[in-house]
Structure 1
């Protein structure tokens, strides 16, 4: 039991670490102030680790859509309250922190299923690939929608705090 718990904690830390590295890379594209990188890394690590814990726990695994929404809420709240400390807009941290959570495999599988759906002539294969197109496309769409709503909701709820950094 102790070994599996240590493995689980290592997986959480590893997930957060790689999300932090990705967020730093995504943040460097938009050229934020130097002090913003540590906040981007911290927020991305905590958000991605939250999603990992929600989708990989012993008490019942949450679907990726709901877990991504909750993780995006965590990212949104953290960005709102850390933005005044870093003296940057909240969006400076939220967008790079969200990018590692983009469901790339679902988007790839959607396009793959679309191409296979269009190239198959028999009805059984077409129905199978159309099912995969629908499932992966809807999952990808709702994950991204949940991420957008989850990250922007705290900015609108805590409007006074979130715009303090730019005043």
Structure 2
């Protein structure tokens, strides 16, 4: 089991970094992008290994990539899409899409439709997980901004009150 974890982690990291190189991700962001992809894939893989369906597992994987990308963007001061685009690549159901195409070309329409529906659902789950991560971060940053603004208002009010006493 530990060897499987090592293999999954290593290859998801390498696939993400390789795709990042292919799309010209800045060198200073490649490691963080690889970590983003590896975390998303491991979230997916652990859930599938636990017996969870691929659709909710991909949702959690997309959510993890989005949240890790936001953390990395704050840390590296680079837009989060630099980490998220390559980070989502390990989750993309490429093999299933290929199998759907082969089934379609061989004339097995029922199996092709079933496989294609699965591909669309998985792609939608990845997208929804990513969107939810963006919504969560938007709410978090709005909350933090309001806290800072209210703290500044209190300080300004205290300052104004001390000016009036003089």
TM tier, smaller: 0.7 to 0.9
- How big is the alpha-carbon RMSD for the aligned residues of Structure 1 and Structure 2? 1.7
User: What stretches of structure 1 of length at least 5 have no aligned partner?
Assistant: 1-7, 118-128, 162-167
Counterpart-to-counterpart distance in 1, 2:64 and 2:119: 20
| Greater CA drift, 24-33 or 83-92 | 24-33
- Tell me how far 1:81 sits from its aligned partner: 1.5
Preserved CA contact (<8 Å) 2:40 2:64: yes
User: What stretches of structure 2 of length at least 5 have no aligned partner?
Assistant: 142-166
Q: Which portions of structure 1, spanning 4 or more consecutive aligned residues, are displaced by more than 4 angstroms?
A: none
> 1:141: which partner in 2?
120
SS at match of 2:24: coil
- State the structure with more CA Rg: 2
Counterpart-to-counterpart distance in 1, 2:85 and 2:124: 14
> 2:70: which partner in 1?
80
Higher relative contact order (CA 8 A, sep 6+): 1
Preserved CA contact (<8 Å) 1:16 1:44: no
The count of aligned residue pairs is 141
Q: How high is the TM-score relative to the length of structure 2?
A: 0.79
Q: How high is the TM-score relative to the length of structure 1?
A: 0.78
- Tell me how far 1:33 sits from its aligned partner: 2.4
Counterpart-to-counterpart distance in 2, 1:63 and 1:154: 20
Preserved CA contact (<8 Å) 1:51 1:70: yes
